[in-house]
Amino acid sequence: MAENSTTEELTTRVDDGVLIITINRPDARNAMNKAAAEGIAAALDRLDSEDDLRVAILTGAGGTFCSGMDLKGFLRGESPSVEGRGFGGLTEKKPVKPLIAAVEGYALAGGLELMIACDLVVAHSGAKFGIPEAKRGLAAAAGGLMVLPDLIPHKVAMELALTGDFIDAQRAYDLGLVNRVTDGSVMDAAMELARSITANGPIAVRVSKQIMDESRSWPRDERYTRQAKLLPEVFMSPDAQEGSKAFAEKRKPNWTGK
């Protein structure tokens, strides 16, 4: 894949180690179809395989993040999923490196499920969030019913699922569903967050994310033992030495990712 690429369904570009992935179906409010899902899966594979890429941002063109599954495609028998990866090429298999959702407009149904599969979320103050599948006789099967109750209070998640009603960005922030809310450019705010991550040691970031994700399912009495198996990659790395030297020498670290 070239550094910058554009298809009918998806665009990607690289900005200083940040891979920006844009769902490019604005006329359909970025509703997810098979081609867009496959494009996201390929972009996330690229994120994890290229050492120069440190973080990705997932966003939508035309002022909307994603309005969910393309219902026209659904009626044609098309599935907006990738085998082994889930809805949008993301919900069942997250990338190893950090992924930030930059949300404008609506993150609804599968769009919300894509968002909560990301590690961090930056939202415009006018954004709206919800899982309205029940209003259409469907169910939020790409993580909305299972993951959302892990992220916000159970009764609030239940209300969203059973009523299909939306919440605004401030409510999402208050619930801890969103990291940052901005009145300005959501991409500028997402890039600011991304750069605060790329300033850190790549191995430390990757392993920290891995432990935080995986430890939620570890038996409580095995957590430290399992963590101990992953930490040597961090503490015995040349980057760990470089970080300590840079601190002592009052300079920025020169990370190698090794």
Q: Are strands 167-168 and 18-23 parallel, antiparallel or unpaired?
A: unpaired
Among 8, 50, 133, 159, the one annotated catalytic: 133
Residue 133 falls in the annotated catalytic set: yes
Alpha carbon separation from 36 to 7, 8, 17, 123 (Å, rounded):
9, 9, 23, 22
DSSP secondary structure, 58-125, as one string? EEEGGG-SB-SB-HHHHHTT---EETTTEETTTTTS--SS-EEEEE-SEEETHHHHHHHHSSEEEEET
Residue 109 to residue 244: CA distance in whole angstroms: 45
Among 9, 38, 104, 113, the one annotated catalytic: 113
Residue 233 falls in the annotated catalytic set: no
* Residue 129, amino acid: F
Bridge-partner residues for 122, per DSSP?
102, 180
Which residues are known catalytic residues? 113, 133
